[in-house]
Structure 1
Amino acid sequence: MRISTVTMFEQGSASMNRQQGEFLKVSQQIASGRRVVNPSDDPQAASRAVGVDQARAVTQQYTDARVSARNSLAQEESILNSISDANISAKTLLVQASSDTLSDVDRESIASELKGIYETMLGQANATDGNGRYLFGGYKDNAPPFVKVGDSVQYQGDSNAREQRIDASRLMPVADNGETIFKSVPSGAGYVAESIKTGVDGKPLVDDAARNKGNVTFSGPQIRDVNDDGYGDSYRIVFTENDDPDSGFDYQVQRFEDGGWLETEEDLVDSGVYTGTGQPLTFGGVNITLEGIPAEGDEILVAQAGSEQREPNLFRTMEEAIRVLENPADTPAKKADLRNTLNTAMRDLDNNLDNVLTVRASAGARLNELDVVDAVGSNRMLNYEQTLSDLVDLDYNAAISEYSLRQVGMQAAQKAFVDVKGLSLFNYM
């Protein structure tokens, strides 16, 4: 068989190109540190690597989301701590103001301090995060959640807690709304009394005409029996003048039911003659002691904190306390209003402090959960890195050995081609 010169050149060139291609492939692997430089190097490993890399990217996004969630919760926890301190300071001032030895000027000075605490609380309630969003407005975070309307503060946010997905299976609240913090009480909060007239919906009226004109004061209410059938209902004590001038006033204990007060005689919870000398009344599983002389139509609301008739509102509590401290207590009615309002305010502050501490504990628990999820996410990232390494990373020992082998092969192919192309029959003639 005869072999033409063209065939020798083609086979030699093909051999050198093949050896050079294999040599360059190993060189690329060593330079990049990857066994799979192109998908064609190992299609199955390349396909699996794409899926693992996508999962790793998603996990990294959740890691970044947890950083944002931790920042929000840490800021909320710090603000709740400030609110707790302000609450305690306000309660301390109210205890001081309850002393009968203070003058009107002393109480006005306390009111000035209380105003400062009130403004601090309002500022904290309208705190923003680093991006300019209001923390406690729910999803309405583009405007202050608490706004002064006239002499009162109203909540303009929504009732949702802003949430963030921190893992594939966990959607975590990262900021509680203002209602949860400033307009709520913990479960199991007791009864609160307030000496003020109520509307048809059972809620206290806010105008000055609704305030009692007499000087009846109350102690309590104290819980006596939580198993009483009427425990949890809302009540009001209404005073009316007695037909007998020597008997003074009558009282009626009415229960709120089906959207209104039950005022008919057969529906009354209790009724009788009010003596005005430390008279205890027991109804609905609670006990309250009354003292003083009422005026016609005076009322005392007795309702469970957090009910529709006694909706919690930290700012209203502060406003009422400031009001009675700023006004001189120069009449028996005003002195009774001072004492009753301060007693009610102190109970409301206690309930709010318990509520803030509950929310703060919840925020702390979520911060701890973030640590746990972070640890799981870190382990998951390590597993992804190991899987990717097994799929596409290079074994340098094997690669260097193959690099040397391909180098020798390429040199041998080049030398063989040089030797073969120089062969001629004339060398043997």
Structure 2
Amino acid sequence: MRISTVTMFEQSTASMNRQQSDLMRVSQQIASGRRVVNPSDDPQAASRAIGVDQAKAVTEQFSDSRVSARNSLSQTESIINSVSDAITSAKGLLIQASSDTLTNENRESIASELKGVYETLIGQANSTDGNGRYLFGGYKDSQPPFAKDGNGSVQYKGDSNVREQRVDATRLMPVADNGETIFKSVPSGAGYVVEAKQKSGDLNEGDVTFRGPQINSVNDANYGADFRITFTSDSEFNVETFDGNDWVLADPADPTLTGVEYTGNQDGTAQQVSFGGVSVNLEGTPAADDSILVAQADGEQRKPDLFRTMEEAIRVLESPADNATKKAEMRNTLNTAMRDLDNSLDNVLTVRASAGARLNELDVIDAVGSNRMLNYDQTLSDLVDLDYAEAISEYSLRQIGMQAAQKAFVDIKGLSLFNYM
């Protein structure tokens, strides 16, 4: 077979170009430190590497999200800690104010201190994060969640939702509790609260005071039901329960619950009234329509409200206790307020513990995320990173191949019959 000179030149050029291309490819790998510089180098590895890169990017985004969540939860925990300190301070002031040795002026001074605590609580309830959003308004975070109405009472303007943030692929974490959860709730199992007011909501006109409640039996068939002691005169009362629509007699046929003779105003001995495994002790002289409500702390008849508790305590301390009715009102209101504050403190501590638990959970998720990132880095390294020992050996081989191709071309082009003519 005859091979033309043009064919020899073309094949030699193609061989040198191929050797040069292989040499350049190895040079790029060594320079970049990557085995797969172009997808064509290893299509399967390149495809898998894209998936791993995307997973790394998502994991890094979750890591940034956890930083934001941690900041929000840390600020929430700090504020709630301040709230618990304020409630403890308020409880101490009420204990001081309940002393019979204090004058009206002394109680007004305590009321002034209590107002300061009250305003502090409002400020903490309307705290904002670093972005100017209100922490405790739920998704209504562009305006203060707590504001005073026309009567000077603090009302919640936020919603009942909890702002959440995705901190991992399978975890949507609450990062800020709403104001209802913190300031208008009590922990489960908070028990009963007693309040002295007429059925209409007005203040009692007599001077009956209460002690309690005491839990006698949680196995009673009516345990958990709210009830009310309503005086029909200064010597008789009924025990009523709420049937879902209105207050009705607890048991018209039971003489210990209906038309009961009241003796708490006779010999100075308190009279015990029991229903549903719960009892209260009453003493003093009632007026017709006076009432003593015994309700679940988180029930429909008397919803918990830390700010209302503070407002009632301030009101009664600012009002001079210059007669038996006023003194009874003050004693009853302070007793109710102290029990409410105990429940509020337990609730706030529960919320704080929940925030602390979520911070601990973020630490665990961070550790898992770090391990995941290490796995991704190892997988990427296995897929695309370069083995330098192997690459350098191949580079030397390609150099020899390139030199051989060049030497062969020099020898071939020198083959000509004209050299012998």
Q: TM (normalized to structure 1)?
A: 0.93
Question: Quick one: distance in 1 between partners of 2:312 and 2:253?
Answer: 33
CA contact (8 A) 2:208 2:328 kept: yes
- What's the counterpart of residue 352 of structure 1? 344
User: For each residue in 1:133-192, what CA deviation from the matched residue of structure 2 results, as whole angstroms up to 9, or x when unmatched?
Assistant: 111111221221111112211111111111111111111111111111111111111111
Question: Quick one: distance in 1 between partners of 2:250 and 2:349?
Answer: 43
Cα drift, residue 8 of structure 1: 2.1
Describe how 1:217-256 pairs up with structure 2 within 5 A.
217-241=209-233, 248-256=234-242
CA contact (8 A) 1:215 1:293 kept: yes
Cα drift, residue 2 of structure 1: 3.5
CA contact (8 A) 1:270 1:283 kept: no
- What's the counterpart of residue 175 of structure 1? 176
Cα drift, residue 195 of structure 1: 0.9
Q: Does 1:280 align with 2:281?
A: no
More displaced 10-residue stretch of structure 1: 290-299 or 304-313: 290-299
Q: Does 1:401 align with 2:385?
A: no
**Secondary structure of the structure 2 residue equivalent to 1:134:** coil
Question: Quick one: distance in 2 between partners of 1:396 and 1:142?
Answer: 57
Q: TM (normalized to structure 2)?
A: 0.95
Question: Quick one: distance in 1 between partners of 2:39 and 2:197?
Answer: 80
User: For each residue in 1:316-348, what CA deviation from the matched residue of structure 2 results, as whole angstroms up to 9, or x when unmatched?
Assistant: 000000101111111211111111100000000
CA contact (8 A) 2:199 2:290 kept: no
Question: Quick one: distance in 2 between partners of 1:265 and 1:297?
Answer: 19
Describe how 1:298-377 pairs up with structure 2 within 5 A.
298-377=290-369
Cα drift, residue 383 of structure 1: 0.8
- What's the counterpart of residue 266 of structure 1? 252
**Equivalent AA in structure 1 for residue 273 of structure 2:** L
CA contact (8 A) 2:56 2:373 kept: yes
Question: Quick one: distance in 2 between partners of 1:348 and 1:192?
Answer: 7
Across the two proteins, how many residue pairs are aligned to each other? 414
Unaligned runs of 5+ in 2: none
Question: Quick one: distance in 1 between partners of 2:364 and 2:31?
Answer: 39
CA contact (8 A) 2:199 2:289 kept: no
- What's the counterpart of residue 202 of structure 1? none
CA contact (8 A) 1:239 1:296 kept: yes
Unaligned runs of 5+ in 1: 200-204, 242-247
CA contact (8 A) 1:237 1:299 kept: yes
More displaced 10-residue stretch of structure 1: 210-219 or 400-409: 400-409
Cα drift, residue 215 of structure 1: 1.0
**Secondary structure of the structure 2 residue equivalent to 1:381:** helix
State percent identity of aligned pairs: 73
Provide runs of 4+ in structure 1 moved above 4 Å: none
**Equivalent AA in structure 2 for residue 67 of structure 1:** V
CA contact (8 A) 2:62 2:166 kept: yes
Cα drift, residue 265 of structure 1: 7.2
CA 327–20 in structure 1, closer or farther in 2 if over 3 Å, else same: same
**Equivalent AA in structure 1 for residue 11 of structure 2:** Q
Question: Quick one: distance in 1 between partners of 2:8 and 2:81?
Answer: 88
Question: Quick one: distance in 2 between partners of 1:82 and 1:4?
Answer: 96
CA contact (8 A) 1:34 1:393 kept: yes
CA contact (8 A) 1:305 1:311 kept: yes
**Equivalent AA in structure 1 for residue 380 of structure 2:** L
Question: Quick one: distance in 1 between partners of 2:395 and 2:258?
Answer: 101
User: For each residue in 1:388-420, what CA deviation from the matched residue of structure 2 results, as whole angstroms up to 9, or x when unmatched?
Assistant: 110111111111111121122212222322232
Question: Quick one: distance in 2 between partners of 1:265 and 1:10?
Answer: 114
CA 7–300 in structure 1, closer or farther in 2 if over 3 Å, else same: same
**Secondary structure of the structure 2 residue equivalent to 1:262:** strand
**Secondary structure of the structure 2 residue equivalent to 1:266:** coil
Once superposed, what is the RMSD of the aligned Cα atoms? 1.5
Describe how 1:17-416 pairs up with structure 2 within 5 A.
17-150=17-150, 151-199=152-200, 205=201, 210-241=202-233, 248-263=234-249, 266=252, 269-275=257-263, 276=265, 277=268, 278-416=270-408
Question: Quick one: distance in 1 between partners of 2:228 and 2:274?
Answer: 12
Question: Quick one: distance in 1 between partners of 2:328 and 2:355?
Answer: 40
Question: Quick one: distance in 2 between partners of 1:72 and 1:421?
Answer: 78
**Secondary structure of the structure 2 residue equivalent to 1:398:** helix
**Secondary structure of the structure 2 residue equivalent to 1:59:** helix
Question: Quick one: distance in 2 between partners of 1:280 and 1:271?
Answer: 15
**Equivalent AA in structure 2 for residue 374 of structure 1:** D
User: For each residue in 1:261-292, what CA deviation from the matched residue of structure 2 results, as whole angstroms up to 9, or x when unmatched?
Assistant: 00497277444121223212111211111111
CA 113–267 in structure 1, closer or farther in 2 if over 3 Å, else same: farther
**Secondary structure of the structure 2 residue equivalent to 1:307:** coil
